[in-house]
Amino acid sequence: MEISAQLVERIVREVVAQKGGAEDDMTAPIGISNRHIHLTKDDVTTLFGEGYELQKLRDLSQPGQFACKETLTIVGPSMRPIEGVRVLGPERSKTQVEISRTDSFQLKVKPPVRESGKIEGSAPITIIGPKGVVTLKEGCIIANRHIHMSPKDGERFGLKDCDYVTVELSGERRTTFYDVQIRVHKDFRLEMHIDTDDANAAGVKNGDRVKIIK
């Protein structure tokens, strides 16, 4: 019988789990975040029309979060638009646009590196929809590197919300990331989020694992 690589990986995982190795595992899976938009209810109305409801495309890794079927265009001072930017749901209390540093060069904007939701004093951006336009005086950021985890994971790692850690990525382009924020919530699932610039620089893909160094 031919033994596949997938079968070998599954057997190894089962053996490690049976021996309790999972409890000592100081790693987390990677989730790569492409540019995206979070919208308020009012801005959904402006961009798509009165009474419009965002349509779910697929669930994301974090419970309750989902990618929408809708995409929008963003424009900065360069007037060189980036089209097809995915909207994520559910709706939020503040509209926020998350881009990479590479995107900022095309748009000619200067977004700060921030925790999601911390948009005070961030960069202006214009969002173009099929029914209208929203011009934000602030709201464009580059999301900081962070790790989502549940309180149980936080206890296992010995970490609490808003702690900062160092992480190591192995592979062909071995990389160390410093000042990675820990975000603990009962609804979070263990996953480190980085943007496409970081992922490309480190040569990693979704599901690869990073080692957490306290």
Domain ranges of the chain: 26-32+145-213, 34-143
pLDDT band at 9 (very low <50, low <70, confident <90, very high): low
Report DSSP letters for 53-97, one per residue.
-PPEEEE-SSTT-EEEEEEEEEE-TT---EEEEEEEES--SS-EE
CB atoms within 10 A of CB 79: 9
16-70 tens-digit pLDDT: 444 444 446 899 999 999 999 999 999 999 999 999 999 999 999 999 999 999 9
Q: Cα separations (Å) of 64 from 56, 69, 90, 118?
A: 11, 16, 8, 20
- The identity of residue 119, as a single letter, is I
CA 65 – CA 205 distance, rounded (Å) = 20
CB 33 within 8 A of CB 146: no
| CATH number given to 26-32+145-213 | 2.40.40.20
Structure confidence at residue 17 (pLDDT): 46
Structure confidence at residue 19 (pLDDT): 45
Structure confidence at residue 172 (pLDDT): 80
Q: Is residue 150's pLDDT more than 70?
A: yes
| Best CA proximity match to 98, nearest among 84, 114, 79, 78 | 114
Structure confidence at residue 214 (pLDDT): 80
Q: Is residue 142's pLDDT more than 50?
A: yes
CA 165 – CA 182 distance, rounded (Å) = 7
| Best CA proximity match to 74, nearest among 30, 108, 29, 120 | 108
Q: Which residues contact 12 (CB under 8 A, 6 or more apart)?
A: none
69-121 tens-digit pLDDT: 999 999 999 999 999 999 999 999 999 999 999 999 999 999 999 999 999 99
The overall average pLDDT reported for the chain is 91
List 136's β-bridge partners, or say none: 125
CB 190 within 8 A of CB 150: yes
Cis peptide before 90 (omega within 30 of 0): yes
Mean pLDDT, range 186-210, rounded to an integer:
96
Structure confidence at residue 6 (pLDDT): 56
